Structure 1
Amino acid sequence: GHEHSLTGHKQRGTVLLRKMEISVAEADKRTGKNTVNMQETYTVYLIETRPAESVPEGGTPAAPDTLWRRYSEFELLRTYLLVTYPYIIIPPLPEKRAEFVWHKLSADNLDPDFVERRRVGLENFLLRVASHPVLSNDKIVFLFLTEVMNNLEYFIFFPETQIIALKIQTRFISAVFSRRFMGLKHYSDELNTIILQLLRVRARVADRVYGVYKVHGNYGRVFSEWSAIEKEMGDGLQSAGHHMDTYAAAIDDILEEEEHYADQLKEYLFYTDSVRSVCRKHELIQYELEMAAQDLTYKKQQKEELATGAVRIFSLKGMTSKLFGQESQEQREGRIAALEQSIQEGEEAIKEKDAECQEFVQKAWTDIERFKEQKDKDLREALISYAIMQISMCKKGIQVWSNAKECFNKM
């Protein structure tokens, strides 16, 4: 159950996944100086890629190309994708620190179980990107997988304007928002709430299950100690105790597997941010379109005032012309001509913005449909696997008590 169900990636596999196999093969601890020259320990992940056709008939596959990347480099790549493809629901990264953890597990970033789950999550992120019809064709994604560079900043070049756009985007803009995207925002909020509830319930259930297993551990101890002081019943008690112990010991593996199902839910919890990000980008474009329209209205109004000489709004300009005599005909015609030029540019700008807005909606909608289909399939699989696992746990519990009952019957 540990591997993410990535069959979907393979089937839809677009260009990149058809051309190469991608995996995050292992994680390693490194110690080095960080930007402020302090020693720090961090984890690096080994990305392995090999051409998909490199396996000769019956032969051994070619050795993969490998390179190490830090989690922060994955973050950079994701930021680059967010800025470059505003209309796409960018796959999320696994969590930076363990959250919604069943509380007996350590929340330490270098904890081997956490690092292992994060390795699976990073591999899943790369496979999601490499199987996406648009993202898989990005040249920087390809470089990320294949080029060893000290720092990704070299080739991830953010134009200033886009950084500014990202900043504006985080401030909520109350713009007229098309009903479709309002619906989408509502959808992502609901999905977020539901998955949060699921994760919290799961942590509570895991706690309770842990308690049940620990009780069996106690039974095991009691039975073994008791068996030592009994003559005829000794053997029966000892084997019953043994059954209880085995059952109690199984809990660690079970909870470890459970965390993997939780990670599949968490992926979609983080996906809801990506959906909101697309909504915010749409708000921004709508807002810019409105500003352009307002600006144009204002200019047309100015032109009308100049042409008719009627100043409708009380203004300093109107006052000064009354006090110091009218401006000459030429001056006025010059200003009218400049305004006409400006109005024409404004109309062009609106056309462009409008086209941009429509293109954005069209592209975003295609991606949203793709995402919803993927989400339904993945979550259904994860929840079914989780249910199957719970059922098998219950069966084991019944088996343990049936075995114990036999031991007691033989006494």
Structure 2
Amino acid sequence: MDINGQTLPADFSGHMLDMDEDEDLEVFSKKTSHVDGDGNPVPNSPSSMVNQYRLEEDGDEEHRDIHTKDLYITVDDPESHVTAIETFIMYRVLTRTTRSEFDSSEYEVHRRYQDFVWLRSKLEENHPTLIVHPLPEKFVVKGMVERFSNDFIETRRKALDRFLKKTANHPVLSFSPHLQVFLTEADLASHKKQGPGFLSRMGETVRAVANTVRGLKSRPEEFTQMQEYLEVFSSKITSADKVTQRIIREQKEYLDELKQYHPMYVQWANSEDVLADSLKSVADCVERCSKETEEQTQHLSEILCPAIHEYVLCADTLKGVMKRRDNIQAEFAAKNEVLASRKAEKEALQEEVDAHADRLEQANNVLKEDWPRWKSDIRTDLRSALISTAEKNMEYYEKCLAVWESFLFSQRPEPREQSDGDHVF
């Protein structure tokens, strides 16, 4: 697979948003004709596939089998809180579980965005080479939605809900004690104070910078392939995200113009005699197309855009994971170099080297196990969003086409009768 002149490794390029032929055979079923706003059938376009068939997703998602789950989490009921210094949203987090390590089978706590940030940082801190699902950004994209509007709050609620569900479905992260605290403790204040000290965090930063400067001499080939795939994927998903957001903005502008178009034809019809009926029909068509456009734009905003943007954030997460893995390898290599140059302290240093070797092996193994799970999520999540958007686009354009076909049908001249009884058209 060649993208912008880059040839991906064989092991990974074949899986980039692939649609496996054997697994993805679609089921087509007959679809009835459309109806107008009054419930009357409107002509179907014979050239459009959406009038003949409906694309249905296959339901084969074995890794999401509900019967194997023992931890259910839901984020809902957002409430705005206003204090003297800030305004923030609190979300209710409901948990149901059958796990023995929980004291109860049901919990209800209330969390704000900062609490989710604390949980995610703890998960990354304790599992540096596992792929922790991203959170939505603290601030929204300018021009897309207003902060603290109903749309913003609902979009964030869905993203926070997905973060917890992804974490609960993870075979390692779901057993994190920090997740259990987050789900069960009414107040997190005491737990938040137990984080690493400032000097400890500074030391980690200094080591990471030193490793970056020193460079990595020999990354294993499989992780080099992961890095190459990630760079291409990140570039493409970021471009798709920007274009999708621009399309939504332009659709909203088009919708605003359609809404101005309708009353203009109504006013025009009021001042005409001969064309009044035709102008009113056009106004009606514009109004119906406006409703379809509004629905289609909403679908793009709520389904496609969040799915694509989520994996922009996932790509950034993966870059952080790869850097942490490389840092672990760099620390191991540095200890090996010291061991080779200091024979007198060889025994003590050998223990440190062995410890770093074990840490590197563990980091490599957990990342190799998590990588295919993440790739499977990409395929499932984006495939679902893209298929849903394709179906919605087909339905949208077909309905608009049917609306204007009905207008043409209504404008056909009536047959007039001649004196001899013959009909002339």
Which category of TM-score, normalised to the shorter sequence, fits these structures?
Answer: 0.7 to 0.9
Confirm or deny: 8 A CA contact 1:24 1:48 kept in the other structure: yes
- CA change 1:259–1:249 in 2 (3 A) is same
Give the helix-richer structure, 1 or 2.
1
| Unpaired stretches in structure 1, ≥5 consecutive residues | 34-38, 54-62, 301-338
> Is 1:47 aligned with 2:85?
no
- The residue identity in structure 2 corresponding to 1:179 is E
Shift of 1:256: 2.5
Q: Please give the per-residue CA displacement for 1:362-400, whole angstroms capped at 9, x wherever unaligned.
A: 111011111112212211111111221211121122022
- The residue identity in structure 2 corresponding to 1:187 is Y
Matched position secondary structure for 1:361: helix
Confirm or deny: 8 A CA contact 1:140 1:156 kept in the other structure: no
- The structure 2 residue matched to 1:246, chosen from 282, 288, 294, is 288
| Unpaired stretches in structure 2, ≥5 consecutive residues | 1-57, 100-104, 415-425
Greater displacement, 67-76 / 377-386: 377-386
How far apart, CA to CA, are the structure 2 residues paired with 1:6 and 1:348? 51
- CA change 1:189–1:168 in 2 (3 A) is farther
Alignment of 1:338-349 (within 5 A): 339=344, 342-349=345-352
Shift of 1:229: 2.3
Alignment of 1:2-401 (within 5 A): 11=64, 18-33=69-84, 39-51=85-97, 65-99=107-141, 103=143, 105-106=144-145, 108-151=146-189, 153-154=191-192, 157-158=195-196, 163-164=201-202, 166-168=204-206, 171=209, 172-173=212-213, 174-176=215-217, 177-260=219-302, 261-300=304-343, 339=344, 342-401=345-404
How far apart, CA to CA, are the structure 2 residues paired with 1:352 and 1:282? 15
Equivalent residue, structure 2, for 1:316: none
Equivalent residue, structure 2, for 1:408: 411
Equivalent residue, structure 2, for 1:315: none
Shift of 1:131: 0.3
- CA change 1:227–1:26 in 2 (3 A) is same
- CA change 1:279–1:10 in 2 (3 A) is closer
- CA change 1:48–1:156 in 2 (3 A) is farther
Aligned residues: 348
Confirm or deny: 8 A CA contact 1:73 1:152 kept in the other structure: no
Sequence identity of aligned pairs in percent? 21
How far apart, CA to CA, are the structure 2 residues paired with 1:201 and 1:70? 31
The TM-score with structure 2 as length reference comes to 0.74
- Which of 1 and 2 has greater Rg? 1
Q: Please give the per-residue CA displacement for 1:166-222, whole angstroms capped at 9, x wherever unaligned.
A: 524763341223332232222222211101111122233334434544454344223
How far apart, CA to CA, are the structure 2 residues paired with 1:165 and 1:391? 56
Confirm or deny: 8 A CA contact 1:30 1:41 kept in the other structure: yes
How far apart, CA to CA, are the structure 1 residues paired with 2:400 and 2:267? 22
- CA change 1:402–1:186 in 2 (3 A) is same
The TM-score with structure 1 as length reference comes to 0.76
Shift of 1:144: 0.7
Q: Please give the per-residue CA displacement for 1:330-359, whole angstroms capped at 9, x wherever unaligned.
A: xxxxxxxxx2xx211112221221122122
How far apart, CA to CA, are the structure 2 residues paired with 1:89 and 1:11? 18
Confirm or deny: 8 A CA contact 1:237 1:407 kept in the other structure: no
How far apart, CA to CA, are the structure 2 residues paired with 1:24 and 1:7? 26
Root-mean-square deviation (CA, aligned residues, Å) is 3.0
Shift of 1:130: 0.2
Greater displacement, 357-366 / 216-225: 216-225
